[in-house]
Amino acid sequence: MCGIVGYNGKEKAVDILLDGLSKLEYRGYDSAGVAIRDNKKEIEIYKSKGKLLNLKDKIKDKKLNGTCGIGHTRWATHGEPNETNAHPHTSNDGNVTLVHNGIIENYQELTQKLKRHDYKLYSETDTEVLTNLIDYYYKKYKMGPIDAINRTMVRVRGSYAIAVMFREYPNEIWVARKDSPMIIGLDKNGTYLASDVPAILKYTKNVYYIDNMELACLKKDSVSFYDLNGDEINKELKEIKWDVSSAEKEGYEHFMIKEINEEDEVVKKTLNSLIKDNQIDLSQTGLTIEEIKKFKQIYIVACGSAYHVGICAQYILEDLTRIPVRVEIASEFRYRKPILDKNGLVIIISQSGETADSLAALREAKDQGIKTLSIVNVVGSSIARESDHVLYTLAGPEIAVATTKAFSTQLIACYSLAIEFAKVKNKINKKEYKELIDELQLIPDKIKTILDNVTEEIQRFSSKFSHIKDAFYIGRGLDYAISLEGSLKLKEVSYIHTEAYAAGELKHGTISLIEDNTLVIGIATQEEIFEKTISNLVEVKSRGAYVLVVTPEGKDVKKVANATFYIPETNKYFYPSLTVIPLQLIGYYMAVSKGLDVDKPRNLAKSVTVE
Ligand code: F6R
């Protein structure tokens, strides 16, 4: 999705803007642009289609000494990716210059309004409409930027984060948002704005979170905030805990493999935040024992990989707590008028905390008066701020589009909830509780063992198999849940068609697709259903499939496996944390073997802030 960065201070803005935009590249984009202003001189705008490199080339010989500017990477929604549609946009006479993330839903109606007032539109974007609308209100009421932006916010429908410069207000950048992320940073060299933390992390860790329907004015050494009435409001400066290095590649070829290799560490960090003196400690969430006791139903709502975490969690939570759990894709949940139990808990899982459908699902739950808990990685994100309770995963910034380390920390969050809820509901005794906690704390070392032991093997396997057109992932129970994630990982980064099936479901149709050398990856960790999964693998093998099995050490799968990746043994509930590592590595190395842009797969964006 689109990215915004801005700077106003003592340094040359162009360097900070280009550096910030490069940190946002991972989000996916198809054009980029900057607007830079040197005090009272006219704003200079440069844009180009394609990679940021094109923009850099275009401006390399320009003398851009301005110390105030805004930049943007655009992911086309309204209108094709070209220079005219790229941001920044200006109003007809250049009075207003603006960059925008999000979508203006009523842009057609606003276009008519502007045309009636003799505005001309040159691009196909909703952003140009927004820019001219601000200009219209600015000139009509002559009450300055706060009034013009506020009137515009009341008039437009949709989601937006905007950064605006006014010709008559040099050395000021104006910011506003609704349902699209934006943070504002401050240090001794100036003020910063960004739609995503990594863009400014190198410069400052001190940020303000601007809320929906609020406005900010960034001067060279201060930031002021205003509400919709135009009244000034106070905000607290917060510190971001992420390391600068976690948003850099640090010698790795891709962010994805760097992030896979960080999994043992981030899982440990997340565990340490949730286990104190060998007891699960959910105090960070604010959930009380009395509240937990009352939950009669749990709904887990999420998208993509986070939804797969939800499916894993469903098996574990139901089994351990005996509370019924329902898992739903957020884009379905939000529109199906769900009937929710008043004594229920809605859990939203989201790395970014900004996924539009997950945010809408959260609001639906809140509208129905149901308690909400979000499992979120990005502090201060919309989902985190709007939930009743928040459990933060400590994965740090995740840059590769395909999630890996955040997924693993989300699993840890779910295990912790399941164990604690089971304890509060008296479904496990002290001994069982202790055994679960002890085993849980061994997960980071086991992840490290897998990374050390199987990476090379998987590299070799992937280079042999990267030509394939299809692959199937099968398993039962939690192994099925993790098959869904393995399948998504492979298809999204390697563009190989894959499907995940509950092993027992295969013979109800899909088995007809199995032919000589079709790759079938079987996950077999769950003792009670192990033999059944093996039987399903025998069935596909006898129809010509090449069978790869992921299974705990000591398991004899020789009769069925053409190849095997072994993982350490663990408690049955925690296998997803181990099996997912080889599956993520398969996705990564298959894509590398095909020479693909692993960190930025085609058509995908890191955080899906539009429907
Ligand atoms: C897949 C992937 C996506 C996200 C999904 C939800 O590798 O990253 O499927 O899991 O878009 O995103 P968040 O977790 O930010 O809500």
What is the DSSP-derived secondary structure letter of residue 203?
T
Identify any residues that bridge with 375 across adjacent strands, giving them in sequence order. 349, 391
pLDDT of residue 66: 97
| Cβ(196) – ligand 1 distance below 6 Å | no
Residues with Cβ within 8 Å of 170's Cβ and at least 6 positions away in sequence, in order, are 37, 39, 40, 68
Q: Would the CB of 393 count as within 6 Å of ligand 1? A: no
For residues 443 and 458, give the distance between their C-alpha atoms in angstroms, rounded to a whole number.
21
| 376, β-bridge pairs | 350, 392
- Which of the following is catalytic: 23, 371, 541, 606? 606
For residue 303, indicate whether it is catalytic. Answer: no
As a whole-number percent, the residues of the chain with pLDDT over 70 amount to: 100
Q: Work out which ligand 1 atom sits closest to the CA atom of 401.
A: 8
pLDDT digits (tens, 9 = 90+) for 134-176: 999 999 999 999 999 999 999 999 999 999 999 999 999 999 9
Q: Is the pLDDT of residue 42 over 90?
A: yes
Cβ–ligand 1 distance for 601 under 6 Å, the answer no
Say what the pLDDT of residue 76 is: 82
Q: What share of the chain is helix, strand, coil (3-state, %, to 5)?
A: 40, 25, 35
- Residue 55: pLDDT over 90: yes
Using CB atoms within 10 A of its CB, is residue 9 exposed (0-12), middle (13-18) or buried (19+)? Answer: buried
Residue 505, sorted as left (phi over 0), alpha (psi -120 to 50) or beta, turns out to be: alpha
Instruction: For residue 361, give the 3-state DSSP assignment.
Output: helix
| Cα of 413 from ligand 1 centre, angstroms | 16
User: Which whole number is the average pLDDT over 88-116?
Assistant: 96
173-178/158-166 β-pairing: antiparallel
Ligand 1 atom nearest to 355, measured from its CA = 16
The response to whether residue 577 sits with its C-beta less than 6 Å from ligand 1 reads no
- Nearest-atom index, ligand 1, CA of 305: 10
Residue 417, CB-side half-sphere exposure with 13 Å CA sphere: 38
- Ligand 1 atom closest to the Cα of residue 402 is 7
Residue identified by tokens 């196909």 is 124
Q: How many angstroms does the Cα of residue 402 sit away from the middle of ligand 1?
A: 7
Could you tell me if the CB of 609 is within 6 A of ligand 1? no
Residue 111 Cβ contacting ligand 1 at under 6 Å: no
pTM, to two decimals: 0.88
Ligand 1 site-directed mutation target among 354, 403, 609, most atoms within 8 Å of CB: 403
pLDDT at residue number 80: 85
- The mean per-residue pLDDT over the stretch 29-47 comes to 95
Residue owning tokens 């928040």: 390
- Residue 352 CA: nearest ligand 1 atom is 15
Our measurement of the distance from residue 385's CA atom to the centroid of its chain's CA atoms, rounded to an integer in Å, reads 16
The structure tokens listed for 594 are 């095909």
Is the pLDDT reported for residue 56 higher than 80?
yes
The contacts of residue 51 (CB under 8 Å, 6+ apart) are 25, 32
Pocket of ligand 1 contains residue 303 by CB under 6 Å: yes
The 8-class DSSP code of residue 42 comes to P
Residue 607 has pLDDT above 90, yes or no: no
Prior bond of 88 cis (ω within 30°): yes
Q: Which atom of ligand 1 is nearest to the CA of 410?
A: 14
Catalytic residue among 2, 68, 303, 312: 2
Rounded to the nearest angstrom, the distance between the alpha carbon of 140 and the centre of ligand 1 is 43
What gap in Å lies between CA 77 and CA 81, rounded to an integer? 9
Give pLDDT, residue 397: 93
Atom 7 of ligand 1, nearest CA residue: 402
| Burial class, 31, CB count within 10 angstroms (exposed 0-12 / middle 13-18 / buried 19+) | buried
* Residue 172, SS3 per DSSP: coil
How far away, in angstroms, is 407 Cα from ligand 1 center? 9
User: Taking phi first (over 0 means left), then psi (-120 to 50 degrees means alpha), and beta for anything else, what does residue 92 get?
Assistant: alpha
Average pLDDT of the residues of the chain: 95
Expressed in angstroms and rounded, the spacing between residue 605 Cα and the centre of ligand 1 is 9
Which residues are CB-neighbours of 366 under 8 A, at least 6 positions away?
372, 386, 388
Distance 303 CA to ligand 1 centre (A): 6
Please give the average per-residue pLDDT across 449-457, as a whole number. 96
Pocket of ligand 1 contains residue 372 by CB under 6 Å? no
Task: Note the pLDDT of residue 276.
Answer: 97
Instruction: Report the DSSP beta bridge partners of residue 176.
Output: 162, 215
Q: Is 420 exposed, middle or buried (0-12, 13-18, 19+ CB in 10 A)?
A: buried
Taking 80 as the threshold, does the pLDDT of residue 283 lie above it? Answer: yes
E-state strands within 285-428: 297-302, 325-329, 344-350, 371-376, 389-392
What integer is the mean pLDDT of 301-329?
Answer: 98
Tokens of 182: 């934006």
**pLDDT tens digits, one per residue of 227-265:** 999 999 999 999 998 888 877 888 899 999 999 999 999
Which residues lie closer than 8 Å to 191 by C-beta, 6 or more apart? 7, 8, 9, 173, 184, 185, 218, 219, 220, 221, 222, 223
Q: For position 87, what pLDDT does the model report? A: 96
Residue nearest to ligand 1 atom 3, measured at CA: 304
Q: Identify which of 75, 254, 351 to mutate to test ligand 1's pocket (most ligand atoms within 8 A of the CB).
A: 351
Q: Is the dihedral of CA 260, 263, 266, 267 positive or negative?
A: positive
pLDDT tens-digit readout, 60-93: 999 999 999 999 999 887 788 899 999 999 999 9
pLDDT at 600 over 90: no
Q: What is the mean pLDDT of residues 468-494?
A: 97
Give buried/exposed letters for 126-159 (b at 16+ CB in 10 A, else e): bbbbbbbbbbbbbeeeeeebbebbbbbbebbebb
Residue nearest to atom 10 of ligand 1 (CA): 305
Q: Does ligand 1 have an atom closer than 6 angstroms to the CB of 351?
A: yes
Considering only CA atoms, which residue is closest to atom 5 of ligand 1?
A: 304
Residue with the two structure tokens 């935009």: 21
Distance 42 CA to ligand 1 centre (A): 41
Gap from CA of 1 to ligand 1 centroid (Å):
13
Q: Looking at this protein, which amino acid is placed at residue 586?
A: I
Å from CA of 603 to ligand 1 middle: 14
Residue of 303, 350, 378, 409 to mutate, ligand 1, most atoms within 8 A of C-beta: 303
pLDDT at 49: 95
Cα-to-centroid distance, 304 and ligand 1 (Å)? 5
Residue nearest to atom 9 of ligand 1 (CA): 304
Contact in structure between 574 and 443 (CB atoms under 8 Å)? yes
Residue 217 bears catalytic tag: no
